[in-house]
Amino acid sequence: MSKQNKMGGTFLGVLVLSSGIFMGFSISNKGNSAPGNVNLAGWRGAPSDEVALLTHVGISAYKIDECIEFYGKYLGLKEAFRTSNPDGSVRSVYLYCSPNTFVELFRAKEPLQGEHPLHIALMVRDMKATVEKIKKRGMPEQYIRNKAPIQGKFDHSWIFNLRDPEGNRVELMQYNEDSFQYEAIVKRIDALAQ
What CATH number did the domain enclosing 108 receive? 3.10.180.10
Residue 9, domain extent: 3-193
Q: What are phi and psi of 65, to 5 degrees?
A: -65, -40
**For residues 49 and 126, what is the distance between their CA atoms, to the nearest angstrom?**
33
Q: In what order do the strands lie in the sheet with 150-151?
A: 120-123, 169-174, 158-163, 150-151
Contact of 165 with 64, CB cutoff 8 Å: no
What is the tally of structural domains in the chain? 1
Residues 6+ apart with CB under 8 A from 177: 7, 10
Name the pTM for this structure.
0.63
Question: Among residues 78, 104, 108, 77, which one has the least CA distance to residue 93?
Answer: 104
Would you call 11 helix, strand, or coil by DSSP? helix
Strand partners, 122: 172
pLDDT in tens, the chain (194 residues): 444 444 444 444 444 434 443 444 333 333 433 334 344 344 456 565 555 667 789 888 999 999 999 999 999 999 999 998 899 999 999 999 888 789 999 998 888 777 677 788 898 888 999 999 999 999 999 999 998 999 988 888 899 999 999 888 899 999 888 888 888 888 878 877 88
